[in-house]
Structure 1
């Protein structure tokens, strides 16, 4: 019997534990989560989109696992009677200068084997009557779901399958001993033959606790959302995204109809003052020092400071936020949106200031560390789990 410990009760950690139970019957699986419940951070604060995989470099882990994960997530939701919808989305070019980038995205999507179609302004209006477009890319396989509900279902399946689920168990130490990897938590010690670190916002810290060198540091970026007022929800039928600018590190604000019928707008992207900093008022001296003492953040700032200032301005001004949305749907004004919470993205940054574009999984003896799993990790979670578990040792490593 192999003893597995998974650190992190977000969707990736729960999916890994679920895959372990499925593929390794008879082994022992323990999940450690520092919060009182599941999906408390990135998973529970995201936009609920089942991504198709348009943006990612062909052959990358993101591209391959997102495409497979989109299908497996839909299948999982259908099997467990969870609400979801495959509604498709439009990536919209609002002026002719964006057309070359839209065509590049089209070619990338085709290379990734996705069901996509370039449409003109009239065809775009058939999908989204209120959109402003000179052309658009329609991606049929994009969907929406409640990832929090997916996590609750995974946790239930784990409990039924005999896994040990420990909430309120913050990891404070990891020691590699002859008898196994000893994980010290606020609720006691757990000994594992294999440790899988899926701690999200704190994954690099867990890796360092375990003595595994990390090639990156996680820096938190807050993404703030608004939502359309109920009387203006009819302006958006599905998902409307801008054409991303490859010069900048994030996608830009977009519009997403959720499974409950609400329409979310955003997110922007501002440097957070805590790894769990969901508002300007949340401040962690440790987290701020961790970010500001890292030369990679300063290198990133030198490259993108103008973009960063724009994002901060949009964070502080509802009028500016609405103006960004109005590029996509001109009828929207500041009176049509209200604040709707925020999420924090755990962004892995290299020392030279470059963002890690792909999922980053670091392996060490008796340990696996997921050090970069931002969007589309929720979409890809079941396939990330399959990928990780397929590479684990078949017997205890002594």
Structure 2
């Protein structure tokens, strides 16, 4: 047993050893200062600081990065994965405001892998979707992510819709969508026995997936390659550090300070924002123009009861009506065995509000005070009122769905989940239906690339979008 004297001797011995370690220049902590014989020296001749998590050719502290990606949705995570794959020696981080990844648009969408039929030939959306669907299936096979190629029928209900259906078919062929086929009433019944229509496009390459799972795999792969993911980092400000604020010998190598709530902060050389529903607000933080503005539209789905799931086998979609800004109701099987019906499309009174009654004063005022929304609403007033009515009255929504599946009854469905779409609007009320990138001016703005609009089908196209964003980053910044 130790006596008191022995304990005092042990304490004095440890204190002496600690003093000797200080004299040798070795301090154990977040960083380890080592003798110059063990490491190269900094420019001023002093020793460098060596960190356990060193991933860059430069030796930097844990909160310093070559680039930060703001937004842990599927586009942000795909971009992070693409950048670290191309540049394995730089230090990257994803900053996500929630406590886990892919909680918003990624985690609330229909889960359809689109084939690329709807989009104008030669457009960026068409190119990225057709490329993206191939990359998605390849990635899922490589990483054992489940999906099903359940196919899709785009159904013309009557002869008046046939010319638009034929135009869609031609678009799909020009876009090099694989396996498209025109079918008549018998072909519709062969694939969907309970569906009615006069003519349809069948797309065998359309599938379903859990995009949340796919996005989380992007994040896992990104971390495996050396990236960092900071959750619960709600970005509130970007600013340029002054020379007087630089307290280390790294000087102004990392001139951007990214600040978040609760005192969180990191420093970096460049920033890429993929903020989805908050993309316009992130752009404003670095001095960019306010337009296009994001206006949130909520889509409410119905769930088909389990005993009625035999009514639908795969995706059943309408022929889009060009007079309206939304696609219309459709039938969507899910990876978990559920079947979603809908959605409607109504203004969301909260940017990230997924319930019928969710409301935020600031978000509502922001939307209603915007001239772009007011002009859009006036143009489609009757359509908007009907959509709101169908959101509250299930039987009214079912009546629209019965045009495709006549055997469907109101008692066959229950209220289901909702999603919120980030719709980019110009001040004249026009929909911004293409990709929008923004880089500001000045010392701060020129170091931040904003992905302000990544329109549907962004989830299907996420891997091809990531390649495009990475190209843009390489053109704009010196990584």
TM-score range, shorter chain: over 0.9
Q: Which stretch of structure 1 is more off in the superposition, 19-28 or 208-217?
A: 208-217
8 Å CA contact 1:291–1:297 kept in 2: the answer is yes
Q: Is 1:367 aligned with 2:448?
A: yes
User: 1:84 & 1:345 partners in 2: Cα distance?
Assistant: 23
- Whichever of the two has the greater Rg, that structure is 2
User: 2:224 & 2:112 partners in 1: Cα distance?
Assistant: 28
1:331 alignment partner in structure 2: 407
TM-score by length of 1: 0.97
Structure 2: runs of 5 or more not aligned: 1-55, 57-64, 243-251, 441-445
1:135-176 CA-partner distances (Å, limit 9, x unpaired): 001112111000111122112112222111100000000124
User: 1:396 & 1:92 partners in 2: Cα distance?
Assistant: 47
1:365-390 CA-partner distances (Å, limit 9, x unpaired): 22221111242001111111111101
Of 443, 446, 467, the residue aligned with 1:386 is 467
User: 2:402 & 2:395 partners in 1: Cα distance?
Assistant: 10
1:96-130 CA-partner distances (Å, limit 9, x unpaired): 11111111111111121113221111111111111
Of 207, 219, 231, the residue aligned with 1:155 is 219
Output aligned runs, 1:210-289, within 5 Å: 210-289=286-365
Count matched residues: 398
1:168 alignment partner in structure 2: 232
User: 1:275 & 1:136 partners in 2: Cα distance?
Assistant: 36
Q: Which stretch of structure 1 is more off in the superposition, 111-120 or 326-335?
A: 111-120
Of 282, 289, 305, the residue aligned with 2:381 is 305
2:282 alignment partner in structure 1: 206
Q: Is 1:183 aligned with 2:183?
A: no
User: 1:215 & 1:280 partners in 2: Cα distance?
Assistant: 28
| SS of residue matched to 1:379 | coil
Change (3 A) 1:395 1:272: closer
User: 1:121 & 1:44 partners in 2: Cα distance?
Assistant: 35
1:102 alignment partner in structure 2: 165
Of 361, 370, 373, the residue aligned with 1:294 is 370
Of 120, 137, 142, the residue aligned with 1:79 is 142
Distance apart, 1:214 and its partner CA: 3.9
Distance apart, 1:393 and its partner CA: 3.1
8 Å CA contact 1:228–1:338 kept in 2: the answer is yes
8 Å CA contact 1:44–1:148 kept in 2: the answer is yes
| SS of residue matched to 1:30 | strand
2:247 alignment partner in structure 1: none
Distance apart, 1:211 and its partner CA: 1.0
| SS of residue matched to 2:258 | strand
Distance apart, 1:391 and its partner CA: 2.0
CA-atom RMSD, angstroms?
1.6
8 Å CA contact 1:145–1:259 kept in 2: the answer is yes
8 Å CA contact 2:433–2:455 kept in 1: the answer is no
User: 1:397 & 1:181 partners in 2: Cα distance?
Assistant: 15
User: 1:189 & 1:35 partners in 2: Cα distance?
Assistant: 16
User: 1:356 & 1:183 partners in 2: Cα distance?
Assistant: 29
Name the structure, 1 or 2, with higher relative contact order (CA <8 Å, separation 6+). Answer: 1
2:120 alignment partner in structure 1: 57
1:350 alignment partner in structure 2: 426
Q: Is 1:120 aligned with 2:196?
A: no
| SS of residue matched to 2:438 | strand
Q: Is 1:133 aligned with 2:197?
A: yes
1:27 alignment partner in structure 2: 90
Distance apart, 1:67 and its partner CA: 0.8
8 Å CA contact 1:273–1:280 kept in 2: the answer is no
| SS of residue matched to 1:227 | strand
1:197 alignment partner in structure 2: 273
User: 2:438 & 2:419 partners in 1: Cα distance?
Assistant: 25
Of 76, 79, 98, the residue aligned with 1:16 is 79
8 Å CA contact 1:193–1:396 kept in 2: the answer is no
8 Å CA contact 2:436–2:451 kept in 1: the answer is yes
Distance apart, 1:362 and its partner CA: 2.3
Distance apart, 1:261 and its partner CA: 2.0
TM-score by length of 2: 0.81
| SS of residue matched to 1:174 | strand
8 Å CA contact 1:91–1:242 kept in 2: the answer is yes
Structure 1: runs of 5 or more not aligned: none
